[in-house]
Structure 1
Amino acid sequence: MDTFLGPIVEFAEMDLAFSSHIVHHLLQRRILTNNDELWFVFANQPMRFSLREFIITTGLPMDDASGSSPNVKRKKKEKWWIKDNQTLKGKQKKDVWINLEMTFLDLTYVLEKRSKKMQPEERLRLAGSLPVEGILLARNPTTMLPIENLKRATDFEKFCKYPWAQIVYSYLVTEVKRIGNDYLLRKQYGLFGFVQSIQIWALSSVQKLGEKFGTRDESSSGNIPLILQWRSTSSPSAKAITMIADGDKVEVTPIVGVHTHEYDHLVSQKNPEDKDLLDVFDLVIKGYRMSKKDWCQGWIQVEQGHQGRIDHVLKPAIEIVVHQSRKRKSMSFGEKASKEFLPVILEKNK
């Protein structure tokens, strides 16, 4: 499938187990910043997961103009999304599944039960919507889907060029920020969105995590998305993850793909309220290694030339949320969609 959906379908078909414990470990140690991107801590080292890192991880298409919210230009009165969906003098709409009361489960039902009566073009449009809603956005399967997303699929060419990276990442950020302290204390909680991208990014950023809980495809090119650079992953226990995080000299890459500058413009503009954090982060990039003591005391010591050690007071406006881990079910809706619904989508769209 030569569209942005190709890598997503390939990723979903691979033997990649979702690890709720890796994601939960990071959520417990999220750095609360004042912009619309995600920051985490592993082994006391800060890590950035901005739109830039998300695109390096997923390969999803983005707005070529900038990293801002997508704004697809179209003629003032043009309604391109209904071009193939007109109601003509008593005739039924062509794409009957485009309405305000469709859930993801409804879409899979329509594909499974009515696909034989569809024209190939309509079946393709429907099959394209399902991975977006079921794997990338991965909402509650019984929640009504945004009608604008379904309408976009009626022009499949424009649908494939749409800046899904911004939409999917923004939804994931909203979902992660929704998980507060009360959720983290629960035995189970729902987290929607393309959560697997956080796991793959973590395995790629923390060498020991990747070596212990995944098998990397050594033949893969560094130019392909991170989600396609792994042959398999496992679902480790919370204890196994903590043992790595508490180990000595864990190698953590604070910015994945640091030598790739193509997407640097997608990093959020610096918020003045995060200045201290960003100053600390710059030091980490240059080789400073954060310790638990640094986080607790709120300031760090750095060396300045050969003048010995000096106290350099940096008080990041952040909060590290840490709670005791509990046993939790290792399954996300995105993984469920991949395992249960993707085979149906591929079969019906042959």
Structure 2
Amino acid sequence: MASSSDSKEYPPRLHQPGKSPLQEHSFNYGCHLTDFGKCAIRSILKLATRGYVWSSHMVHQFIANQLAVDRQYEVWSLIGGRPLRFSLHEFAEITRFNCDPIVEDGWDIDHTEFWAEMGVKTFDGPNWNELDRVIDRCQTWSEAKKKMVAKLLLLHVGIFGLNRNSRVPLKCAKRVLDEDTFESYPWGRHAFKHLVESIKVACLDGDTYFIHGFVHAYLIWAFESVPIFGEKIGRRWPSHNPNEIPLLRWRSSRKRFRLETVINEEKQNTPDNKVCKLMYYVW
């Protein structure tokens, strides 16, 4: 860790140096964007079709440098001797998803007929394997029903980022039956909540771990928060659209590196008065 942090009073590291050798760890995640090839659904599909590359190496280094903070839905990482925050504010800015508060409004709808048609038990939401089987036999279904299946795939893979055997919560899955209810629901809040909760409980002692939620927002946040990482690893798209959402600005890459090495090299090669402006984004 950079010496500039020695004189500052930050919370202790959540994972002590040396306890989690970065090169020997990997983690699994359920938000595979290639699974959206047949689903025309907003920015998640756009990200998948723009040549975006997932970098677990980058994300793992941010997770491994977490600070132990007493804030349930904030993740803080110490990078280059400076603390960086990932919260609902940053997630919403990156994705532009609806992140409004979740209101228990008593909404409900009869889902039994469509669930039976899909071959899913009515007391739970579908898992990936069940939806995959539906895809194989829904060619003759109405466009409305195909769209509902696509939305269930969106929830499973994109919003909740589940593994293949896990199920979309029934309350959420039923919302695909009502287009207005689905479109107005704060899915971003769910995606963020599942992401942060899984990051905070990730066990780095084993060989692998699993991150839920929309993990790609966390990677893009890293590129946006420390622009030198975006410059050297993120491969930003050339764009003249000032309204382009941050989620779609980056292609990313799978370069192997150490974050501290990149930062220290940049500090040596960059005049002091330019380092902070170049390295740390102000939200």
TM-score (norm 1): 0.61
- Is 1:29 aligned to 2:65, yes or no? yes
Q: Which residue in the other structure is 2:160 paired with?
A: 137
1:111-163 deviations in whole A, cap 9, x for unaligned?
2x221232211110111121221123211111233112211111122111100
Q: Which residue in the other structure is 1:322 paired with?
A: none
8 Å contact from structure 2 (residues 156, 167) kept in 1: no
| C-alpha displacement of 1:254 | 5.1
Q: Among 46, 49, 71, which residue is 1:10 paired with?
A: 46
**Could you tell me the percent identity over the aligned residues?**
24
Code of the residue aligned with 1:41 in structure 2: it is L
Q: Which residue in the other structure is 1:58 paired with?
A: 95
CA distance in 2, matches of 1:110, 1:92: 11
Change (3 A) 1:11 1:174: same
Q: Which residue in the other structure is 2:236 paired with?
A: 216
CA distance in 2, matches of 1:42, 1:23: 12
Q: Among 173, 182, 187, which residue is 2:196 paired with?
A: 173
Change (3 A) 1:46 1:121: same
Change (3 A) 1:188 1:220: farther
Change (3 A) 1:189 1:245: farther
CA distance in 1, matches of 2:51, 2:115: 42
CA distance in 1, matches of 2:235, 2:242: 15
Q: Among 245, 254, 263, which residue is 1:225 paired with?
A: 245
CA distance in 2, matches of 1:201, 1:178: 20
8 Å contact from structure 1 (residues 25, 238) kept in 2: no
8 Å contact from structure 1 (residues 46, 254) kept in 2: no
Q: Which residue in the other structure is 2:103 paired with?
A: 71
Q: Quick check: which has more Rg, 1 or 2? A: 1
The unaligned stretches of length 5 or more in structure 1 are 259-350
| C-alpha displacement of 1:9 | 0.8
Determine helix, strand or coil for the equivalent of 1:40: strand
Change (3 A) 1:220 1:45: farther
The unaligned stretches of length 5 or more in structure 2 are 1-39, 268-274
- Is 1:205 aligned to 2:225, yes or no? yes
Pairs aligned (count): 234
Code of the residue aligned with 2:261 in structure 1: it is M
- Is 1:123 aligned to 2:150, yes or no? no
CA distance in 1, matches of 2:162, 2:184: 22
8 Å contact from structure 1 (residues 45, 252) kept in 2: no
Q: Among 101, 104, 121, which residue is 2:128 paired with?
A: 104
- Is 1:43 aligned to 2:80, yes or no? yes
8 Å contact from structure 1 (residues 138, 194) kept in 2: yes
| C-alpha displacement of 1:95 | 5.8
Code of the residue aligned with 2:133 in structure 1: it is Y
Determine helix, strand or coil for the equivalent of 2:214: coil
| C-alpha displacement of 1:169 | 0.5
Code of the residue aligned with 1:116 in structure 2: it is Q
Q: Relative contact order (alpha carbons < 8 A, sep ≥ 6): 1 or 2 greater?
A: 1
Change (3 A) 1:93 1:139: closer
Determine helix, strand or coil for the equivalent of 1:41: strand
1:82-131 deviations in whole A, cap 9, x for unaligned?
2xx465xxx995665473263112112212x2212322111101111212
| C-alpha displacement of 1:33 | 1.8
Q: Which residue in the other structure is 1:310 paired with?
A: none
CA distance in 1, matches of 2:242, 2:206: 38
Q: Which residue in the other structure is 1:236 paired with?
A: 255
CA distance in 1, matches of 2:80, 2:115: 59
Give RMSD over aligned pairs.
2.6
Q: Among 208, 211, 214, which residue is 1:188 paired with?
A: 208
Code of the residue aligned with 2:85 in structure 1: it is R
8 Å contact from structure 2 (residues 125, 169) kept in 1: no
Q: Superposition pairs for residues 201-350 of structure 1, below 5 Å?
A: 201-230=221-250, 232-239=251-258, 241-247=259-265, 248=267, 249=275, 251-253=278-280, 255=282, 258=283
CA distance in 2, matches of 1:92, 1:104: 14
CA distance in 2, matches of 1:56, 1:98: 37
8 Å contact from structure 1 (residues 42, 252) kept in 2: no
8 Å contact from structure 2 (residues 47, 248) kept in 1: yes
8 Å contact from structure 1 (residues 214, 234) kept in 2: yes
Code of the residue aligned with 1:106 in structure 2: it is E
